[in-house]
Structure 1
Amino acid sequence: MFDIGFWEFALIGVITLIIVGPEKMPAIARTVGRYVGKAKQFVAKVQADIDAEIDTDEIKKHLHTMDKNANILEVFDDTKKAVNDIKKDVEKS
């Protein structure tokens, strides 16, 4: 999520330790950990929703294409049947 390396994390920890003191440091670390976890869950849920929506759009496009292909095949079959009927009529005469 964030591109924080070891040294950046260590610097943040030292500054937090100096500002709040060693007594409150564990409680603050737990609180920050909870919020980071919630943020990660939120981002993962949003990504999953977006992926699901993209998949839905792709499926709709695919179905639309299949419907067009089915219509084309139906017209082709009708034309083929008409040509065969004409061919039979010509052969009879």
Structure 2
Amino acid sequence: MIRHTVVFSLKHPEGSSEETRFLDSAMVLAGLPTVRKFERLKQVSAKNRFSHGFSMEFEDQAAYDAYNLHPLHVEFVRDRWQAEVSDFMEIDYVRI
């Protein structure tokens, strides 16, 4: 199992309609065939500069690779992520 996480901040003001539209548009990722346990998260720690997070799980590397190459994921990154995210950090985990 691979847990894919990304924390990020948006260019949009907190609570804005643009923020809501971005977060709602990310739900397309939850419906991709290999995605499990998709979550949209609000980051609340004062120790962290990011405002939001996404978390999802994949059965294995092949499932994760299929997600990365899926046309809807590629489109989301190209059309929304690159235009609206100001900073991010991606972390992928496997159980040990």
Name the structure with the higher helix share.
Answer: 1
Shorter-chain TM range is under 0.3
User: Normalising to structure 1: TM-score of the pair?
Assistant: 0.25
Query: Which entry has the higher C-alpha Rg, 1 or 2?
Result: 1
User: Normalising to structure 2: TM-score of the pair?
Assistant: 0.24
Name the structure with the higher strand share.
Answer: 2
The one of the two structures with greater contact order (alpha-carbon pairs below 8 A, sep at least 6) is 2
